[in-house]
Amino acid sequence: MEIARNKFVSLSYQLRLNGAEGDLIEETGESNPLQFVFGTGKMIEMFENKLEGLKEGDNFDFELKSHEAYGEVNTDAIVDLPKNIFEVNGQIDESLLKIGNMIPMQDANGNRLNGMVLEVTDNTVKMDFNHPLAGDDLHFSGQVLEVREATEQELVEAVGGGCSSGNCGDGCSC
């Protein structure tokens, strides 16, 4: 069976930065594979394009240029925020505001995003809201471990659907 839309895919791979000999930043194997439903918008589009049509047992080796992956670094996504917005009950948790920490936040529209602390002054915190891999070329090599029809439950989970009650936990059969 070939990798195609709405198929369940399992991969082992190595991810390296900026070429086949670049720094290894992620590796999965048969015991901890990457598993996803193909074509549901959860993966980088060009990553899926490179995998489409492969079969179980096929090897792959390809590079995504930064503009095909997480984009170039957007300087507009590096901002100085007032330090007081990090207060909780009138106190700032200084351990949170360490250089390199990723902090989950929300924008003015309620969208969730993560920012990395770049600099802390007496009054401001410089945050970078770019993806951590923005500006990097990504090199993937690995093997397709499994391709099969996705179950109805896997399809529902992949597109963000599921329980209508909003109280689903593990094992929920709403």
| Positive/negative CA dihedral, 21, 12, 47, 132 | negative
Q: What is the pLDDT along the chain (174 residues), one digit of tens a residue?
A: 999 999 999 999 999 999 999 999 999 999 999 999 999 999 999 999 999 999 999 999 999 999 999 999 999 999 999 999 998 888 888 889 999 999 999 888 888 999 999 999 999 999 999 999 999 999 999 999 999 999 999 999 988 754 443 434 444 333
CA pair distance 24, 30, nearest whole angstrom:
18
Radius of gyration of the chain (CA): 20
**CB-based burial, 115-129: b 16+ in 10 Å, e otherwise:** bbbeebeeeebbbbb
Structure tokens at 98: 């360490």
Predicted TM-score of the model (pTM): 0.78
Note the pLDDT of residue 80. 96
Question: What domains are defined for the chain?
Answer: 7-70+135-158 (3.10.50.40), 75-128 (2.40.10.330)
Please give the DSSP secondary-structure letter assigned to residue 2: B
Classify burial at 174, counting beta carbons within 10 Å of its beta carbon; exposed 0-12, middle 13-18, buried 19 or more. exposed
Neighbouring-strand partners of residue 127: 79, 117
Structure tokens at 122: 């007496």
Note the pLDDT of residue 167. 39
Note the pLDDT of residue 168. 43
| Positive/negative CA dihedral, 91, 127, 136, 10 | positive
